[in-house]
Amino acid sequence: MGVFGSALRAAAECDAMPAAGWQRSAPGMTFRWDARERVTTRDATEPLRGKMKFYGWMLFLVPLLLPGQALDPNTLKLFHQPADVWPTYNGDYSGRRFSDLTQINQSNVDRLKIDWIYRITSVGPQRGVGGPTIKSTPLLVNGILYFTIPDHVFAVDAHNGQELWQYDFEDHGGHLVGQRGVAMYGNWLYFLTPDGWFISLNAKDGKERWRKKVADEKLQYFTTISPLIVKNHVLVGVGGDAMDVRGYLEARDPETGDVQWKWWSEPLKMGDPGSETWPNQDAMDHGGGMTWLPGTYDPELNLIYWGTGNANPVFAGQGREGANLYTASIVALNPDTGKLAWYFQASPHDTHDWDNVETPVLFDATIDGKPRKLLAQAGRCGWFFVLDRTNGKALVSKPFSGTGNWAKGVDAKGQPIPNPAKEPKVDGSMIDMPAMGATNWPPPSYDPQTQLFYVNGTEGYGIAYLYDTSAHPEGYGGGGGGNFDSRSALFAIDIHNGNVRWKHEVKQQGFGGGMTGGILTTAGHLLFTGDASNLTAFDPATGKILWHQRLMSSVSNGPSTYTLDGKQFVLVGAGDSLYALTEAGK
């Protein structure tokens, strides 16, 4: 486990009393304990609200025993990141969440056992959401895991699950619905708080460097995103529907936190490209289009790909007639300037709260006899799209949940054409998928070995209602409900034609039912995801269940994998706990 891991374990075992929150998990023992000493920092422009927990005695050990924290920028690749690092939210720039590791494979997955568990015991119920829930995918850099929940950042030794430091923040608003994780640039971590603070921490000890305001919580913006590092840019998106505000994406300087460029989800003024899809300036100024999940990046094309959220008012579209660009879209931007290269709109004139922020996954494959640079997305609107990522041309547009009957067909660009008869109505309008969408934020995966795209989603029927019938509605103006015959499913979709090759369906019943969390595929011919309260391994080619491990809560993040000291680990968050699994006997 290395010198530092040995020192931590020895110190823990020398305590007269066991530290609060320690847990035993076969085959080893891990400890979780409260800090003995606080170190605090202050920004001259803002009252102190962030605090960092760290052992006093560890302050003397850190310079001697910790490996270098700096992230090697060469590990940030489109495909094939090194085995001992998970340097960004999706593992690499592609968003495939596919690992080349093969030590754990179909021949030995039945020997996969829990090696250690880290449980969050220092944070109680969080405002509006209950107990802590790990939705972030931890970064792994130089043997240290960095992960988050709203208002908190944790550094944990990846070898044994022992906490190294914890950073705490006190928010003054925003929503605590989730926190997707940190980004890393050199020695620095970047973290977003619920109330719109962009904070940089020293990865070595969690000490705060600076903080910058990126969004105004008084306008009901909130920030849950894991930032994305592209060259010398930190890309930051926002969320928030309640007050009909514009969405935007910012590039920030990693050294100072200052704005480098800002891209708005709507045209800035009438006459700009895309403004013809809005009735007037006021509608554009309140149009929505949030950017709350990380995008992907192709270094060769020098383009970032980002999903945008639903238009506002959310369900009442009568005051914003038109397609409402660039909401509910995939946009390709130049990361150095923020200039739009192309767009594809998955849900034109969206009136169902179908954020199109789901990961735009990048891969290379042959379609129609031609090798192509591709992008695929399973959208919340229930459709699966495959695009040429060089120009946004649609190659596949097909429903994966239901028949896609909210649309009358597709236009010349392959974009669905909304059916006005399926828009929300006072007495309800039924569609053949759940009203709130066919999927959501949990990350999908693409396996180049099977050439299948995997996503956890839902099927069934839903009804959307219109509450505000005025000519100029505000806020949500309606709601989705009346879901029935709802079924949770893991879909395996053929990227060549959009057909569902296989499907693992679960009838949702009671607490913890259904498919949960994100998806990981590996070169060991394995697919990992949450199935009820289990971490489950499937054969990605057939959908056959190969193995499962019961957890204390449902899987709540995207699983990841790495190799340390010759052992491959699978890492997954479930509720307030992080589980590391490896082959028994390794």
Give 513's pLDDT tier (boundaries 50, 70, 90): low
247: DSSP letter: -
- Check whether 509 has a pLDDT greater than 90: no
- Check whether 311 has a pLDDT greater than 60: yes
* Domains of the chain, residue spans: 2-583
Instruction: Kindly list the catalytic residues.
Output: 353
The fourth-level CATH superfamily of domain 2-583 is Quinoprotein alcohol dehydrogenase-like superfamily (2.140.10.10)
What's the chain's length in residues? 586
- Check whether 585 has a pLDDT greater than 90: no
- Check whether 9 has a pLDDT greater than 90: no
Give 484's pLDDT tier (boundaries 50, 70, 90): confident
pLDDT at 483: 83
pLDDT at 51: 54
pTM of the entire predicted model: 0.90
pLDDT at 69: 72
Give 563's pLDDT tier (boundaries 50, 70, 90): very high
> Per-residue b/e over 397-426, b at no fewer than 16 CB within 10 Å?
bbbbbbebebbeebeeebbbebeeebbbee
Closest-CA residue to 295 (of 326, 329, 261, 257): 329
For 128, other C-beta atoms within 10 Å of its C-beta total 10
Average pLDDT over residues 46-72: 50
Convert the pLDDT of each residue in 394-450 to its tens digit: 999 999 999 999 999 999 999 999 999 999 999 999 999 998 899 999 999 999 999
Convert the pLDDT of each residue in 107-155 to its tens digit: 999 999 999 999 999 999 999 999 999 999 999 999 999 999 999 999 9
Cis peptide before 27 (omega within 30 of 0): yes
| Distance in angstroms (rounded) separating the CA atoms of residues 326 and 324 | 6
pLDDT at 507: 67
- Check whether 50 has a pLDDT greater than 90: no
